[in-house]
Structure 1
Amino acid sequence: MDPLSALRDFTIRGELDKVTQTENEIRFGSDYTFASSIETPFRSKQGNLYTLQTLVFFIKNYSLKHTEYIQTARAHRIPPVTLPDRKPLFEYLTGKIDSSDQIEFHLPQNPNSLDGPHKETFTNGDEILRSNNYNSNNVTAVGDGKGFENLENVDYLALIRAAEKPLKDREQLLECKNSDFYSVLVSSTRREEERQRIESQQRKDGLVAKNRLMGVDERGLGYGGDEGFETTPKPKMLQLKGGKIGEGVPIILVPSAFQTLLTIYNVKEFLEDGVYIPTDVKVKNMNGVRPECVTVQKKFSRDRDQVVKAYEVRDKPSALKAEDWDRVVAVFVLGKEWQFKDWPFKDHVEIFNKIIGFFMRFEDDSVESAKIVKQWNVKIISISKNKRHQDRAAALEVWDRLEEFVRSRSHS
């Protein structure tokens, strides 16, 4: 008798109390014993075959409300019967119906009789007696005396399934208990920051010292080459003196509010390395220390020479002096009017004629988030929430737009 028929027989007779489970087996009194994980012929409308353990737990807890039954099944780590299958399964097990199109009796029927030494019997021309602890010494061919000559029709896959004892199901594997993926993110971020710091520290120190302390006419301009910094600037350099941009290191403004994507905390990694790191992660790594100013650098090509350009990034416009505003070349907008309060410009038209504006957003954010920004002369930069390899393209777009704007402004 197959496990589904055995369960139906005991249910109709009202002898479910004799159906017990011990370790990985389910016993039907002294009549039958099956592996608890054996699949029954009853197929779910979702396509999978229910195991015997699932059906026994279902019929014994049918009186529970479905939501309570689901919670109880999960607590016992037993896959539950879905809501659409409850009624047809219950009616079949209790004898209200004799058949169902969800029942497929095509699997071998492998009961373990308790009357003998726990052996299974399969009939495919010969009878094979196989104990639960399967090995070559326990297999015997009987019948026509031909030994194993007629074993080619045996369903070996069914034999394997009958002996399987699953340790975890799909849901349990996805729970990932005792796993902290946030710590993995923090750890990888720290390693990346350390690598960036080692690579750029010498270059940064040399450039900042020249820009801020030497006071030469070429302040705010970098020096060519990849191997280091020269004491004398090359002739071919980006000259801004005499243009519309004030002397000194150009300034980029970012919002001070945390609800924006780009802040004083994570702007360096995004613009220099093309990697977006959430502000909360950076704040935690920096132990809450808020920088007053951040220097970012960018390499540009000028007539076969490489020019390293430095920018100051600030988030407190109120701290800027009157002459500092001439150095402001870009602003990352928050999309709120109050961001421009007390700015020395009469309206948005004047602001975005003298300063290039950018608005950072996630590509799957609603259109409403950029509704106000679309009325301004700003460039919308979209990044993915999860695909960090796409950040570099967004950062390069910012640099290209900024370089074009600075060049046109210096020549105006």
Structure 2
Amino acid sequence: MDPLSALRDFTVRGDLDKIVRVNDEFRFGSDYSFPCHAETAYRSKQGNLYTLETLLYYVNNHHIKHTDYIQCARTQGIPSVTFPDRKPLLDYLTGKISSSDSIEFLLPPQNDAVHLTKISTTLDAASNANLISSDNGHYDASDSRVFTQIETPVDYMSLICSSERPLKDREGLLECKGRNFYAVLTSATKREEERQRIESQQRKDGLVAKSRLMGSDERGMTGFGDESGYDPNPKPKLHLKGGKIGEGVPIILVPSAFQTLITIYNVKEFLEDGVYIPTDVKVKQMKGAKPDCVTVQKKFSRDRDRVVTAYEVRDKPSALKAEDWDRVVAVFVLGKEWQFKDWPFKDHVEIFNKIMGFFMRFEDDSVESAKIVKQWNVKIISISKNKRHQDRAAALEVWDRLEEFVRSRAHS
């Protein structure tokens, strides 16, 4: 009998307590004995054959929580049964089902399974009598018999595999305890920033060189110390609706509450690198007090020749002066009316006519979370909870909307 059938037989009969481990083998009472690491005919959905040791440990511990079972099995050094295999495997071992697609009783090829060697077709009666009488004493010398010898080939690969013990299973490898891949992301981002910085400097050098090729009369008419007439650090001007002109760096406001996705802690990684990092993770990584102001720039773009503009990000509207409000170009909303308390505007209609509004949400959140926001003139940006490679597209959408809004205000 094979190990899987023997284990099922003892499980159905309720005789699991009669299976005893002696050194490197399991003894099924006085009926059978198998190596502990012998592969059974039950194949995991991951493709490997479960060993007798794995199945016996599982059927004895199937009642405990799966995570606790995995931890206990790992402590014992025993490979565990995967979660998708738990129920169908238990149903088979306990007799609830009689067969399963996961079971593969492999028969050896006919030529190798049994070798028959004919010893003799007719034997001398006296010789046969002597041979058989020594066996059971019931041989008639007048009979002639055919004797066969059965030889079963040794499966050396099965013997080798039965002695192997995996050091780590697939789940253990994916856990990656004690490893943090944030440093890899940071390194890759820095290389991209350096590449873009070099390209930007090359474009500036090209503009300077082009200016110097202009006629001497045109250079003389500039009247400035720099003969190229090129100012690498112009003072930004922002034109807002209503005829007001805000001098200085434009401002983006974010909520100070932690229940929003974008805060002053993680806004820089999202807008500059196109990567969303939860606020609680950033708080643990940051050293020192919370910053009052964060400067962000658009470091990636669909248009490589676009001018990079710096923005200030703040989360304390009460600290803004009257002239500062003229520089506010965007706000990430929390979805609550009280966020705009004491703002120098009549209502949210006036706010979102003068300021670009964004509402960040997870794509699988309920519609109720954005019920109030949908009544406002704001752009809803959705990101995935787990697919971080999609963050860049969401950040680009924020930048595109913001730049379009700023251009429209500048020409109003």
For normalisation by structure 1, the TM-score amounts to 0.64
Bigger Rg, which one: 2
How large is the Cα RMSD of the aligned pairs? 5.2
- Determine the C-alpha separation between the residues in 1 that align with 2:331 and 2:115: 84
Q: For residue 174 of structure 1, what is the aligned residue in structure 2?
A: 171
Is residue 2:284 matched to residue 1:262?
no
Displacement of 1:331: 0.8
Q: For residue 184 of structure 1, what is the aligned residue in structure 2?
A: 180
Q: Tell which deviates more after alignment, 17-26 or 37-46.
A: 37-46
Q: For residue 114 of structure 2, what is the aligned residue in structure 1?
A: 124
User: Percent identity among equivalent residues?
Assistant: 60
Q: For residue 164 of structure 1, what is the aligned residue in structure 2?
A: 161
- Determine the C-alpha separation between the residues in 2 that align with 1:311 and 1:381: 20
Say whether the 8 Å CA contact 1:254–1:313 is kept in structure 2: yes
- Determine the C-alpha separation between the residues in 2 that align with 1:289 and 1:54: 52
SS of match in other structure, 1:27: strand
Q: For residue 210 of structure 1, what is the aligned residue in structure 2?
A: none
Q: For residue 322 of structure 2, what is the aligned residue in structure 1?
A: 322
Displacement of 1:335: 1.0
| CA offsets 1:317-362 (integer angstroms, 9 cap, x no match) | 1011111111111111111111101000111100000111011122
- Determine the C-alpha separation between the residues in 2 that align with 1:203 and 1:320: 36
Q: For residue 308 of structure 1, what is the aligned residue in structure 2?
A: 308
Is residue 2:340 matched to residue 1:340?
yes
- Determine the C-alpha separation between the residues in 2 that align with 1:240 and 1:68: 61
Q: For residue 122 of structure 2, what is the aligned residue in structure 1?
A: none
Specify whether residues 227 and 35 from structure 1 end up closer, same or farther in structure 2 by C-alpha distance, changes over 3 A only: farther
Unaligned runs of at least 5 residues, structure 2: 118-146, 209-225
Say whether the 8 Å CA contact 1:332–1:360 is kept in structure 2: yes
Q: For residue 396 of structure 2, what is the aligned residue in structure 1?
A: 396
Letter in 2 for 1:124: V
Letter in 2 for 1:188: V
Q: For residue 382 of structure 1, what is the aligned residue in structure 2?
A: 382
SS of match in other structure, 1:271: helix
Specify whether residues 79 and 262 from structure 1 end up closer, same or farther in structure 2 by C-alpha distance, changes over 3 A only: closer
- Determine the C-alpha separation between the residues in 2 that align with 1:107 and 1:259: 57
| CA offsets 1:94-153 (integer angstroms, 9 cap, x no match) | xxxxx94569794459xxxxxxxxxxxx842259xxxxxxxxxxxxxxx999x9xxx9xx
Aligned pair count reads: 348
Unaligned runs of at least 5 residues, structure 1: 93-98, 110-121, 128-142, 205-222
Specify whether residues 199 and 289 from structure 1 end up closer, same or farther in structure 2 by C-alpha distance, changes over 3 A only: farther
Displacement of 1:237: 10
Letter in 1 for 2:391: D
After superposition, residues 131-150 of structure 1 pair within 5 angstroms as none
- Determine the C-alpha separation between the residues in 1 that align with 2:100 and 2:87: 14
Say whether the 8 Å CA contact 2:273–2:299 is kept in structure 1: no
Specify whether residues 233 and 250 from structure 1 end up closer, same or farther in structure 2 by C-alpha distance, changes over 3 A only: farther
- Determine the C-alpha separation between the residues in 1 that align with 2:326 and 2:376: 21
Q: For residue 297 of structure 1, what is the aligned residue in structure 2?
A: 297
- Determine the C-alpha separation between the residues in 1 that align with 2:367 and 2:37: 50
Q: For residue 251 of structure 2, what is the aligned residue in structure 1?
A: 251
| CA offsets 1:243-266 (integer angstroms, 9 cap, x no match) | 544222211111112222222222
For normalisation by structure 2, the TM-score amounts to 0.64
SS of match in other structure, 1:249: coil
Specify whether residues 342 and 357 from structure 1 end up closer, same or farther in structure 2 by C-alpha distance, changes over 3 A only: same
Q: For residue 408 of structure 1, what is the aligned residue in structure 2?
A: 408
